[in-house]
Structure formats: structure tokens, C-alpha cells
Amino acid sequence: MVDVTFEEIEPKFREIADRIVWCTFATVDRSGKPRSRILHPIWEGPAGWIATGRYSHKEKHLASNPFVSLSYWDPAHEQAMIDCEASWEDDVDEKQRVWTLFRETPPPLGYDLGMLWKDVEDPTFGLLRLRPWRISTGSLGDVMAGKSDIVCHL
């Protein structure tokens, strides 16, 4: 394992996340069991945003345990793993800013959230803020070449 700063890992992390787009997002349910699903974050520096349904299993899971794990993977076995604390963003101005970020970011990362929700005040619209505490990148090619994963602790 090679420990680096966020500034050092960010280019590789963003190249992977922006190319793969969809990641596996794992929570822990109220019984202490893992639960995974596929979600679509947008990253701003070390912070991530996920637009998602507010009244869902995720909400119940996060109420009991706010820690989540995200994994991007492609068929060439290049991956990025992000361990985060997730919280609901309820500030209307911040929700509007991120709504605009999703709309103005070019596809495939950006999309119009209006396809799913009326506006930022729609009670079913949820915005998750991701605060990573660990990011790692690596690939099967790196392992075969004897290289270690690159890890950043925030």
C-alpha cells in the first residue's frame, strides 16, 4: 500500500469514477447485515453527491449507521474504493446548487434530476453528501506488476 494525499490520488480516482459513472454503494441494515445497490455519484473534490429517493431503505440504514462503502470496477479490473460517512443534505440552497451541478455536468455524469423529481422541494427528493475518510485505487495489472494499491486517508 502506498499512502498519498488527496491531491495525489484525485486524478486517478476521478479518471476511474468519471469513466465508470455507476458504483456499488453498500450500507449496513438495521440487523447489521450489508446491503448493496448501484448508484451514480458526482464528485466535487473529495466530496460526493448522490441524488436518490428520500424515503427508502437507504434512509433507514443510514439512520442506524451513516458509514458506507462505494466501489467502482470495470472489466479490466481497474477499481476505486471509497469509504465515507453519508448524510442527508436538507439545506434548500445547497440542494438547488447540486441540482444545477447535475444538470450542467455533461453526460454521462450529469443528467436532469427533473426527470425524476419535480424540484428540490419535492419531499421524495433526497440528496446524500458523501464525506470520504479513505480512497484507494488499483488494478489487476498493478497487482501482476507487483505494484501496491494507492491509498489516501482523509
**Domain range enclosing 38:** 2-153
pLDDT at position 144 over 90: no
Counted domains in the chain? 1
> Which residue type is seen at 34?
P
pTM for the full predicted model? 0.94
In order of 15, 136, 147, the CA distances from 144 in angstroms are 21, 17, 7
84 pLDDT band, cuts 50/70/90, is: very high
Task: Give the CATH number, domain containing residue 131.
Answer: 2.30.110.10
